[in-house]
Amino acid sequence: MYKKIGAAIVRNRNKKGISQAQLAERLALEGFDISNGAVSKWERGLSYPNAPQLFALCSILNISDPLWEFGGVHRGPFSGLNEAGREKAKELVDLLFHIDTYRDEAEYYSEGAPRLLPLYYIPVSAGTGSFLDDSDYEMIEVPGYVPQSATYALRITGDSMEPLYQDKQIIWVHEQPVLDSGEIGVFYYDNHSYCKKYIDTAEGTFLRSINDSYDDIEINMEIVFRVLGKVVS
């Protein structure tokens, strides 16, 4: 079991194309003070992440079936699906959280004192792009399904991220300056803001829609480009 944990971290880190130091930086963004030396020890089986660190690794490395990855136990809702199938299943599960018919209202809002985050008034385009102005916002109560890592909310406009994100839907964002290729984030580019999938390849850097009716936006690095955050729900 423990040998599988180290091997799984190596395998999935390499799949994401990030170094041990970059993984440590991502863990720091999640609130864990982990050095790249500690990551190296995990991968060599000299020590092991605790439960909260393991959950963070699953989030960072997009591990949807930890029983299989870390323990070699192949069961659960993703059994029998290939990688593309698992990604599609995760998209559909996330979509169901935003449909009243399928949501468990008892768990929709957290117990105890309400958790509040700013919802910025200026929408983020999921189509042609609109400027993000963070000066005006309101504080709104956060549904229980939203990860603790979310730091602010925005409202989508357009249909280019359907079916995962619908027009006028609120998205929850963790503010961070870097993303891994394949992750969905909020971006500032050429005086516009976008919600797109970040694609970084040898051929170039692109902002990609989920709705294949839209073309990729190729990033010209001579124009100001910033990652504003990662969409976490």
b or e along 14-32 (b: 16 or more beta carbons within 10 Å of the residue's beta carbon)? eebebebebbbebbebbeb
Share of the chain above pLDDT 70, in %: 76
Q: In this predicted model, what pLDDT tens digit does every residue of 178-209 receive, in sequence order?
A: 998 888 999 988 888 889 999 998 889 999 99
Q: In this predicted model, what pLDDT tens digit does every residue of 34-75 receive, in sequence order?
A: 888 999 998 888 888 888 888 888 888 877 777 767 766 666
Quick one: 107-231 is in which CATH superfamily? Answer: Umud Fragment, subunit A (2.10.109.10)
* Residue among 106, 154, 99, 148 nearest 126 (CA): 154
Q: Report domain 2-80's class.
A: mainly alpha
Both structure tokens of 115 = 């958790």
Q: How many CB atoms lie within 10 A of CB 173?
A: 24
The domain locations on the chain are: 2-80, 107-231
pLDDT value at residue 7? 86
Rounded Cα gap, residues 184 and 199, in angstroms: 9
